[in-house]
Structure 1
């Protein structure tokens, strides 16, 4: 028997997949490297104050502000450094296990779980069999056991290192945002790992809590510390004593029976999963919603009624998830589902999809990408709409050809136009109307009138230059050169005269709005003036003459010059009336005419009052 044990131990200590490990297989960080800066300062102050005291300086106790500890703390700090520097790997391992639980094995970080042994440790045959079984367990949601550190004074089980820490560590970090899909992914990993363990020769975990659910760098949850009850029993190691808080995950039947608790049970693992699920759902400690101490909670769990369980609000998780959780912590063990049934319930909860965090992350990224594309499309459409609105506004303020040049940053040079026809109009008696109106009513009047005029002139190939007070100015023949500019402007003038006859002032409905119109044809120069609010302005004698035609005209009449009359004669169809020689300021006597109507123009025109 002894020979077979030696052979087994030799076989487990050799090869690339050996299980029994020695301190020489590990690289342990020097304890001196982990000294804090404040500890180094403390040691330096100790030496300095000791020298002062030897030369008659103040005692350490007299300077409590310089040193938090005592001179003895210097000796305490110096001992581990001396030990690590003067002895071999075994001393490093012992000092390291006191300070940290990590080491490097085959170049990778590993977790060392110290075994609770008293005295010298020697591995037994049954314990080797258990180690062989545990070492053979492989599942993506089970943290693999790499071996056992066989050290006579400080033995430890060696597991893979998971950089994210335990599930409990993740839950307490508020900066880590856990939406429901994230939490469901973690719980699904736990269910898969436990379902696998319950189908292996290990059969029972026994110590399941959020502390031995570890999370790796890829956010995959893995179950660790499995098989410890069987290993402790095979090695004749008494299980470590647990505090009341450590037992909050323990099922009621196990709390009542210490012998059964020592072995653990599958229904007990399901109960522990229900408590872990409560931690994940509410992101708090077990029974955190109850204002009771752990001792009081355990006493009530062991001795119902009343039946005490965590209280979880309906909005904390989907109703199906809360129902699974409540089934898992049922009072009767046979009423709890096994992990195969829990796995099926989680499948329904996941709608049949295989869910882990990486899949969830990619789904979230894909969903975000799709949402981002949709958002970009919507924003692009909105930008196009706003761009069109801006262009429309700019084209209303400036000719489109001029606006295009300005948008491209090109200079807009003034242009000469050999012949254009200019329209001027204003309201007769506008001063009197304004006297009977408030400023707001005057604004409303002009807005109503010129909105009507703007809609009317859209039917003609003309360009509205500007409105100044009650004056309205339109030109035909620029910025786009056309040959029938006089015809376009004259017909438009008749149409605007018709609109003014039908127009009603809202606050003075009985007052007619008499329009006075003047037309003139001749050469003109046009260009953009200003930078802050650029204006497209017309210059030349034709502009002044057209303005004089309007000011020397009469209400509800269209007054035009000889030049415009000749253009309309070429077109034909216009009924004109000779007015005679009219004295035009700055021009002297001019032959002028009244435009009365046009053939085919059937809109009713207002009856003008007598001249003079």
Structure 2
């Protein structure tokens, strides 16, 4: 603040008079610092009363430590903060890992998911006997034609969320959904002796009961009818693909179960003879009704059955519709469709009479 060389200022401070003191205005430093300088400098008071460096440090809010101690303290504080930060990030990473593992086990069997995470090959596995479930929505093509895309997505999401909640109480594994088709298996990937037919049958009765009271958001007056097909037999299971890998089932049992569903009827559980034999051997009171001869594509004509109940199962099951009274080959009675939806259907299918 003086127009002098540093050496000259030091010489004047060391050997007064005249007294050489810095002139610091209140806007250039905190007031406590200005007062400290005024009371600590030479000439302000007797040397014995002037504060030493330790007292100056205390007055400035600093510990009585040297620069090495200060650096060590700062390093310790930094290390502690770093440990807290690492711990926090590790906890966040663990939470995200748990979310990823949960999602992976929802897409693949846990044993398969663990093998894929470790990079181990997943060998295809043969299962001597399992029971498969297929279902689809009757008249889904017609429903899609008279609905907006978002309405179709909401329908499938609502319906299959309901199904997902039901299968959680049974020893079954959801294989996949393709469009309006829903596929479930029991007896794989975890074997359960001959309980697979009972687990799938119990699940089917629960699903059929739930569908009876299910309503679409956008067409609540139009019932959603499903048809269900069951079949038991051997199959092979394995993981297919590296990008978005899928746990797939292969074999004639899969084809036959699909045929049981496609040749079934609304609000009916269509059962093949092999599944019937297993259910009867369990002697748990399953109620089966002979449908008669049914032609299964690629299989020929076989006797098939309807599963209509079980002893102790008291939940209401929707009554199958009178197919002779339907005015559509798609399983939907056109009189049930609201007028505004009929107009939308007319636009989607010009030239067709409704």
Q: Give the TM-score normalised by structure 2.
A: 0.80
Instruction: Give per-residue Cα distances to partners, 1:437-486, cap 9 Å, x unaligned.
Output: 22122122212222221222111111111110000000000111112011
2:73 paired with 1:363: yes
Structure 1 CA distance for aligned equivalents of residues 245 and 17 of structure 2: 87
Q: Kindly provide the CA deviation profile for residues 254-312 of structure 1, in whole angstroms up to 9, marking residues without a partner as x.
A: 9xxx8x984269xx68x55xxxxxxxxxxxxxxxxxxxxxxxxxxxx6xxxxxx71524
Cα deviation code 1:524-545 (max 9, x no counterpart): 1111111222111111111111
Structure 2 CA distance, aligned partners of 1:349 and 1:499? Answer: 76
Could you list the runs of 5+ residues in structure 1 that have no partner in the other structure?
1-208, 210-242, 273-300, 302-307, 314-321
- Is 1:328–1:336's contact at 8 Å kept on the other side of the alignment? no
Normalising by structure 1, what TM-score? 0.48
Number of residue-to-residue matches in the alignment: 319
Counterparts of 1:397-436 in structure 2 under 5 Å? Answer: 397-436=107-146
Structure 2, unmatched stretches of 5+, are: 325-354
Q: Structure 1, residues 168-212: CA drift from partner, whole Å, max 9, x if none?
A: xxxxxxxxxxxxxxxxxxxxxxxxxxxxxxxxxxxxxxxxx9xxx
Which residue number in structure 2 is paired with residue 309 of structure 1? 25
Distance 1:343 1:410, change over 3 A: closer
The SS at the match of 1:340 is coil
Instruction: Say yes or no: does 1:442 pair with 2:147.
Output: no
**1:471-490 superposed matches below 5 A:** 471-483=181-193, 484-490=195-201
Question: 8 Å contact 2:209–2:318 — kept in the other structure?
Answer: yes
Counterpart residue number, 2:308: 596
**Which residue, out of 294, 318, 328, partners 1:606?**
318
Distance of 2:310 and 2:60 partners within structure 1: 81
Bigger CA radius of gyration: 1
1:244 to 2:29 alignment = no
Relative contact order higher in (CA < 8 Å, ≥ 6 apart): 2
The 3 A distance-change label for structure 1 pair 261 and 388 is closer
Checking the alignment, whether the CA contact within 8 Å between 2:54 and 2:64 is kept in structure 1 is: no
Pairing partner for 2:16 from 263, 266, 269: 263
Which of 512, 516, 525 pairs up with 2:227? 516
Q: How does 1:121-520 map to 2 (within 5 A)?
A: 244-246=3-5, 262-263=15-16, 272=22, 309=25, 311-312=27-28, 322-328=30-36, 339-340=50-51, 343-344=54-55, 346-347=57-58, 349-350=60-61, 353-483=63-193, 484-520=195-231
Q: Residue 525 of structure 1 is aligned with which of 233, 236, 243?
A: 236
Deviations 1:74-132 (A, max 9, x none): xxxxxxxxxxxxxxxxxxxxxxxxxxxxxxxxxxxxxxxxxxxxxxxxxxxxxxxxxxx
Contact 1:327 1:336 in 2 (8 A): no
Structure 2 partner of 1:569: 280
User: Does the 8 Å contact 1:517/1:559 carry over to 2?
Assistant: yes
The 3 A distance-change label for structure 1 pair 346 and 594 is same
Name the residue aligned to 2:339. none
Pairwise CA RMSD = 3.1
Contact kept, 8 Å, 2:122 with 2:239, in 1: the verdict is: yes
| Compared CA separation, residues 568 and 246, structure 1 to 2 (3 A) | same
